[in-house]
Amino acid sequence: MRILEFIVGIIFAFICTFIGGYLYTQFVVNLDFFSDFKMLFSTDIGSKVIAIGSLLNIPLVYFLLNKYKYDLGKGVIFGLIVLVIISQLI
């Protein structure tokens, strides 16, 4: 059961980062996330969008730790580490 919660935490991290990146590109950069996706990563804005989008994971980790869901919180933190590595490789 602990492995399942860990994997769900990783999925939560990816979803929150995607939502945060989408909101950032829509309201701050004024680009369409889906049609300008290739342009975001070709101009090196994509890694910045991932980094700013992952800021939504901070309240998620705080909420999970306050509810004593440690395995979910560990999964979210591990998902953030994976996203940082992926964004640096792109």
Q: What DSSP assignment string belongs to 7-73?
A: HHHHHHHHHHHHHHHHHHHHHTS---TTTTHHHHHHTT-HHHHHHHHGGGHHHHHHHHHHTT-HHHH
Q: Whole-model pTM?
A: 0.86
The whole-number average pLDDT for the span 35-58 is 82
Give me the sign of the Cα torsion angle 12, 78, 20, 62: positive
State the average pLDDT for the chain: 87
More confident residue, 13 or 41: 13
